């Protein structure tokens, strides 16, 4: 019994230590955004990697998500003669939830793994130690540009996913359900407008769908960087860190999504 307790105690200590190190790394990276020197070239390079590099998978994810959502929903809605409202369902679902979450998961699988692999390779080949020797802060040089790029590009990619998902739903509505594109788009607009407006012109659903990717982008960047910098054991360790980064980021995205949804609903709709 004592042996089991020692194992549990050791696991809990490592978990708490990991959370502490993750939090400290995040705080240092955020603080470095506002301190000189500014590595703009590195940030732009990471924006290209995260944004342009993920564009293909984001387009495919949005298109087929919108098409499947409209196709599956039409089966039930046809029974009640409510297919004219398919735009409301697709628009609300894509903008509020599916767009931000699916975009984050796809980017986490592609970019989060890449960050962990890059930094992990630098760690095991002692390139990060070399940066310390020459007086360059590894966190500011390597982590902060990735964090800043993710904070900027995740909302942009989410907007693209939302638009493509709505377009995919429109294809099904026009081809399969014999609705007009104008009727479908008016239905989408009506459901977004019905949520109310912030600042007089931004629908609350849209605002909610753009706040989430900011947090998701931070999770992807910091998780990938954290596990990359924690890499041990050569090339095998790089593979382990990559896997842990993707799994942890995906779980955190889904968990944080729930709490963010609860918070935003209480703020925006109550």
* Average pLDDT in the chain: 90
Give the residue-averaged pLDDT of 240-244.
92
Q: From 53, 47, 100, 95, select the one nearest 216 (Cα to Cα).
A: 100
Instruction: Please tell me the predicted confidence (pLDDT) of residue 199.
Output: 77
Nearest to 223 by CA among 102, 89, 104, 58: 104
pLDDT above 90 (res 143): yes
Tokens of 107: 């980017």
- Provide the pLDDT for residue 150: 95
Q: Picking from 86-95, 100-109, 115-124, 189-198, which range would have the lowest pLDDT averaged per residue?
A: 189-198
Would you state the pLDDT for residue 1?
63
Instruction: Please tell me the distance from the alpha carbon of residue 167 to that of residue 43, in angstroms, as a whole number.
Output: 31
**pTM, to two decimals:** 0.92
Q: CA 264, CA 205: separation in Å to the nearest integer? A: 10
Q: What is the pLDDT of residue 116?
A: 93
What does the pLDDT read at residue 84? 86
Query: What does the pLDDT read at residue 270?
Result: 67
Residue 4 scores a pLDDT above 80: no
Tokens of 156: 């942009």
pLDDT above 80: residue 250: yes
CA distance 95 to 164: 11
Confidence band, pLDDT 50/70/90 cuts, at residue 224: very high
pLDDT for residue 197? 84
CB 113 within 8 A of CB 220: no
Q: Which residue, 9, 29, 52, 84, is CA-closest to 223? A: 29
3-state secondary structure the chain: CHHHHHHHHHHHHHHHHHHHHHHHHHHHHHHHCCCCCCCHHHHHHHHHHHHHCCHHHHHHHHHHHHHHHHHHHHHHHHHCCCHHHHHHHHHHHHHHHHHHHHHHHHHHHHHHHHHHHHHHHHHHCCHHHHHHHCCCCHHHHHHHHHHHHHHHHHHHHHHHHHHHHHHHHHHHHHHCCCCCHHHHHHHHHHHHHCCCEECCCEEHHHHHHHHHHHHHHHHHHHHHHHHHHCCCCHHHHHHHHHHHHHHHHHHHHHHHHHHHHHHHHHHHCC
Residue-wise pLDDT tens digits, 30-89: 999 998 888 899 999 999 999 999 999 999 999 999 999 999 988 888 888 778 889 898
**Which has more pLDDT, 195 or 116?**
116
Mean of the pLDDT values across residues 165-182? 92
The Cβ of residue 205 has, within 10 Å, a number of other Cβ atoms equal to 22
pLDDT at 194: 85
Residue 79: per-residue pLDDT: 82
Chain centre distance of CA 67? 21
């Amino acid at each position: 019994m004592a042996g089991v307790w020692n194992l549990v105690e050791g696991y809990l200590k490592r978990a708490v230590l990991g959370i502490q190190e993750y939090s400290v790394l995040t705080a240092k990276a955020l603080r470095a955004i506002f301190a000189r020197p500014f590595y703009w070239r590195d940030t732009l390079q990471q924006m290209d990697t995260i944004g342009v590099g993920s564009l293909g998978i984001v387009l495919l994810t949005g298109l087929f998500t919108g098409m499947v959502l409209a196709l599956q929903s039409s089966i039930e809605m046809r029974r009640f003669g409510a297919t004219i409202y398919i735009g409301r369902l697709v628009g609300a679902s894509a903008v509020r939830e599916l767009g931000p979450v699916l975009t984050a998961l796809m980017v986490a699988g592609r970019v989060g793994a890449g960050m962990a692999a890059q930094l992990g390779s630098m760690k095991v080949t002692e390139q990060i130690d070399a940066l310390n020797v020459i007086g360059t802060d590894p966190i500011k040089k390597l982590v902060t540009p990735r964090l800043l790029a993710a904070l900027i590009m995740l909302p942009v990619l989410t907007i693209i996913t939302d638009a493509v998902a709505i377009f995919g739903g429109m294809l099904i509505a026009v081809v399969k359900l014999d609705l007009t594109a104008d009727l479908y788009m008016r239905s989408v607009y009506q459901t977004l407008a019905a949520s109310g407006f912030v600042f007089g012109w931004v629908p609350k659903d849209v605002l909610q769908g753009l706040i989430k990717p900011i947090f998701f982008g931070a999770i992807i960047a910091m998780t990938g960087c954290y596990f990359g910098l924690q890499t041990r054991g050569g090339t095998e360790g790089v593979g382990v860190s990559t896997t842990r980064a993707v799994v942890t980021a995906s779980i955190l995205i889904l968990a944080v999504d729930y709490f963010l949804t609860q918070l935003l609903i209480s703020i925006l709709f109550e």
